[in-house]
Structure 1
Amino acid sequence: MRLQDKVAVVTGAASGIGKEIATVYVREGAKVAIADLNTEAAAATAKELDPSGERATGVAMDVTNEQQVDAGIQQVIDRWGRLDVLVSNAGIQIVAPLVEFQLAQWQKMLAIHLDGAFLTTRAALRQMYKQNSGSVIYMGSVHSKEASVLKAPYVTAKHGLLGLAKVVAKEGAAHGVRANVICPGFVRTPLVERQIPEQSKELGISEEDVVKKVMLKETVDGEFTTVADVAETALFLAAFPTNALTGQSIVVSHGWCMN
C-alpha cells in the first residue's frame, strides 16, 4: 500500500472529486479526514469508507473560517498524531458575464478557493514542519492555465493556486514539504452538471452543444476527465518519495491543455 499509515486531510471530500481521492487514499492504507462544510455528509462518507472509524473520520470545516480550519486540522493531529498530506479541494462554481458579476459572488468564490487554500495550508504546515515532511496538493484546473468566458473569479482563483503552490514549494523545501497542483479538465461532477444548463442559458445554445462545443471541444477524444483520473494523480503526488517533484502542476484533461 502506497500510503500505509499516512494521515491525510481532504477538504470538500463528502462528494465528487474529494470523495474519490479519500476513497483511493483509504484503499492505499492512509488514515483520512473527510473535511467538509456539510458535517452530516462528511460523517456519512467517513462511515462508508471505513465503518470501523479507525481510518476515516468526518471533520466539520468551512475552509473560509480561520477558527474552524485551525480547530479541524488540530482535531486530526490530536487523533492520529501527525499530518502527511493536505488536499485542498473545496470549491464552488458561479458563472456569469464579468460585467454582471456581483461583488459578493466574486468575493465568495475567491474566499473559498484562495482563502481556503491559504488557511488550510498554514494550519497543515505548522505540523508538517515539526515532522520535517509533508505533501500539499491543490486542486487547480485547466483554468489555472487557460481562460473561459463566464468564469472570471474561478479562472482568477485557479491561477492563484499555481503561485501559492510555488511559494509553499520554496518555503517548505527546508522542512521536507513539497507542494503541487492538479489541473483537471471537465469532470462530470454535480458542480459541472449545474454549469451545463447555466451556460446553455447564458450562451444561447443547447446543453448538448455546451458539452460538445464548449466543455470538450479542445480534448483529443471528446471525453470527460473522470474522478478516478484525478484521484490516481492525487495518489501519485502524495506517494512521491522525494522533493524532486515539487512546485509543479499536472494537467489531467484528455489533452485539452498541453502545457
Structure 2
Amino acid sequence: MKLTGNVAVVTGAGSGIGRQIALAFAAEGATVAVADIAIEGAEAVVAEVERSGGTAMAVRMDVSDEAAVNAGVDAVAARFGHIDTMVANAGIQIVHPVEEFPYEEFRKVVDIHLGGSFLLTKACVKHMYPRRSGSLIYMGSVHSHLASPLKSAYVAAKHGILGFARVMAKEGAKHGVRSNVICPGFVRTPLVERQIPQQAADLGISEEEVVSRVMLGGTVDGEFTTMDDVASVAVFLASFGSAALTGQSLTVSHGWHMG
C-alpha cells in the first residue's frame, strides 16, 4: 500500500471531499486524523475507517481558531508519534455580488480557507521539520486560477492559497517538506448543491442553466469532477517520493482549466 506508516491530518474530513480523502488514505495504509468542526461527522468517518480495519481518530477543529488547531494537531502527534501529511481541506462558500457582500461574510470565507490553511500549516510543520519529511497538501480550486462572478471571497481565498503553498514549497524545502495544491473543478458536494439555487437567483437563470453553463460549460465533456478523482490526486501527492513535485497545482476539472 502506498501510505503504510503515514500519519495524515485531514481537515473538513467529516463529509464531502475531506471524507473521501480520509477514506482513500486509510485504504492505502495511512493512519488518519479526521478533523472537522462537526465532531459527529468526524466520528462517523472514523467508525467507517475502523470497520475496514484501518486506524483513525476524530478531532474537533475549528480551523479559524489558532488554539483549537494547535491543540488538535498536537493531540494527533502525541497519540501517533509524528505527522507526515497535512490536507488543508476545510472550507465554506458564500456568494454575493461585491456591492452586496457583507464584509463579515467575506472575512469568514477567507479566514476559513486561507487563514485555516495558514494555521494548520504552522501547527503541522513544527512536527514535520525535525523529521525532515512531510507533505503539505492544500485544497485549492479552478478558482485558484480563474475568476467567476459572485465569488469574490472564495476566489480571493483560493488565489491566496496558491501563493501561500508556493511560499511553503520554498520554506519547507530545506526541511524535506513538499507543498502542493489540488485544484478541483465543480464536485457535486452539498456545498456545490447549495450554490445552484443561490446562483440561479443572483444571475436570473434557471438551476439547469447554472449547472450546464456556469458550472460545467467550460469542461470538455460536461461532467462533474468526482470526489474519488480528487482523493486519488491527494494519495498521489502524499505518496510522491521527492521534491521533484513541489510548489505545483494539479487541476482536476475535466479540462475546465488547462495549464
Query: 5 Å matches for 1:93-108?
Result: 93-108=93-108
1:115 aligns with: 115
Cα 1:207–1:170 shift into 2, 3 Å: same
Q: Does 1:212 align with 2:212?
A: yes
Letter in 2 for 1:69: V
Output the CA distance in 2 between the equivalents of 1:219 and 1:191: 20
Over the aligned positions, Cα root-mean-square deviation in angstroms equals 1.0
Q: Within 1, Cα distance between the matches of 2:233 and 2:41?
A: 24
Deviation per residue, 1:34-73 (Å, 9 max, x gap): 0000011111111111148961110000000011000000
Please give the residue correspondences for 1:223-234 in structure 2 after superposition, counting only pairs within 5 Å.
223-234=223-234
Structure 1 runs of 4+ aligned residues shifted over 3 Å read 51-54
Q: % of aligned pairs identical?
A: 60
Aligned equivalent of 2:196: 196
Deviation digits for residues 196-224 of structure 1 (CA, Å, limit 9, x no counterpart):
01001111111000000110000000000
- Aligned equivalent of 1:140: 140
Match of 1:72 in 2: 72
After TM superposition, give the deviation of residue 258 of structure 1 in Å: 0.4
8 Å CA contact retained: 2:182, 2:252: yes
Q: Bigger CA drift: 147-156 or 40-49? A: 40-49
2:8 alignment counterpart: 8
The answer to whether 1:153 aligns with 2:153 is yes
Match of 2:82 in 1: 82
Query: Is the CA contact 2:179–2:247 (under 8 Å) kept in the aligned structure 1?
Result: yes
Shift of 1:150: 0.3
Distance in 2 of aligned mates of 1:5 and 1:30: 6
Letter in 1 for 2:112: I
- What amino acid does structure 1 have at the position aligned with 2:37? L
Aligned residues: 259
Q: Secondary structure at the match of 1:149?
A: coil
Distance in 2 (CA, whole Å) between partners of 1:41 and 1:218 is 33
SS of equivalent residue, structure 1 residue 50:
helix
Check conservation: 1:11, 1:88, Cα contact below 8 A: yes
Structure-2 separation of matches of 1:233 and 1:139 = 11
Give me the whole-angstrom Cα distance separating, in 2, the residues matched to 1:26 and 1:53. 9
Q: Distance in 2 between matches of 1:141 and 1:151?
A: 12
Counterpart residue identity of residue 256, structure 1: W
The separation in 1 between residues aligned to 2:11 and 2:123, in whole angstroms, is 13
2:31 matched residue in structure 1: 31
TM-score by length of 1: 0.99
- Indicate conservation of the 8 Å contact 2:27/2:54, yes or no: no
- Structure 2, unmatched stretches of 5+, are none
Contact conserved, 1:46 with 1:53, CA < 8 A, in 2? no
Conservation of the 8 A alpha-carbon contact between 2:26 and 2:54: no
* Residue 21 (structure 1) aligns with: 21
CA distance in 2, matches of 1:3, 1:44: 22
Question: Shift of the alpha carbon at 1:189?
Answer: 0.2
Q: Secondary structure at the match of 2:219?
A: coil
- Given that 1:47 and 1:53 are in contact with CA atoms closer than 8 Å, whether structure 2 keeps it comes out as no
Normalising by structure 2, what TM-score?
Answer: 0.99
Secondary structure of the structure 1 residue equivalent to 2:174 = helix
Cα gap change, 1:130 to 1:53, in 2 (>3 Å): farther
